[in-house]
Amino acid sequence: MNLLEKKVAIITGGAAGIGKATVHKFLLEGSTVSAWDLNKEQGLQLMNEYSEFADRLEFRELNVSDEAAVNQAMDAVVEKYGSLDILVNNAGITRDATLMKMTPEDFDLVVDVNLRAVFLCGQAAARHMVEQGSGVILNASSVVGLYGNFGQTNYVATKAGVIGMTQVWARELGRKGIRVNAVAPGFIATEMVMKMPEKVIDMMSQKAPLQRMGQPSEIASAYAFLASDEASFIHGATLSVDGGLIS
């Protein structure tokens, strides 16, 4: 039996990178998936690429930092599929600059997408999960949320905040039958990262004891495990998937 057979999942930022890999993994494991993303073109490409799963996959063009849009979409998914078993809060952006050069606008934008949106989606999902007495919420943090990173004040603040929120939600929602965990990826070979100069990619690869970058599919596998009943006693944890980067 597949890990996520007959589960209904929402995956934010699901049209590219780790989100897209997670959508694919969840589909392979038997889940019905609602992929949310602001990029309509990539969302339509996703639907086309995974057309064999058309009966278990939908795409919703959505700004996850918009409270009304999130609540409406969450209600629509539950109405369409009858339940909500898994939320993967994966959507995220970067606007990197050193402290002296970062603008308040860039700080606020990253906080809106990487932290506020996690709160909004988590809150909306929790309402439905509490009502049904079960569910799993998985939040995307990052290894930089654990040790910091040069030029990423805004991003690091959000990813550290996600870990804190995960721990709070675990305390609040566990008694309601809802498990909450975070995943902290290391350097992952997404489409965006692989466009960087080869010198930078080599440097990132060499930092990890495994001497390579991770693949989006490896993060997706971590999400699938944590979302499944195989992880039924894992709660309030932050799982580093980083090739030993912070070991």
Domain spans, the chain: 8-238
CB contact at 8 A, 72 and 62: no
CB contact at 8 A, 216 and 17: yes
pLDDT tens-digit profile of 178-213? 999 999 999 999 887 787 788 878 888 888 899 999
Q: Which two tokens stand for residue 242?
A: 């980083």
Question: Could you tell me which CATH number the domain at 8-238 has?
Answer: 3.40.50.720
Q: Using the CB atoms, write b or e for 86-114: b if 16+ within 10 Å.
A: bbbbbbbbebeeeeeebeeebbeebbbbb
Spatial neighbors of 73 by CB under 8 A, at least 6 apart, are 34, 36, 60, 62
Residue 247 has pLDDT above 70, yes or no: no
Confidence class of residue 36 from pLDDT cuts 50, 70 and 90? very high
What does residue 37 show for φ and ψ, rounded to 5 degrees? Answer: -165, 150
Give the percent of the chain with pLDDT over 70.
100
User: Residue 137: beta bridge partners?
Assistant: 87, 180
Q: From the candidates 50, 81, 155, 223, which is the catalytic residue?
A: 155
Q: Is 81 among the catalytic positions?
A: no
Query: Among 72-76, 113-117, 163-167, 198-202, which is the least confidently predicted range?
Result: 198-202
pLDDT tens-digit profile of 127-156? 999 999 999 999 999 999 999 989 999 999
pLDDT tens-digit profile of 63-82? 999 999 999 999 999 999 99
Torsion sign, CA atoms 108, 167, 121, 3: positive
The reported pLDDT for the residue numbered 202 is 87
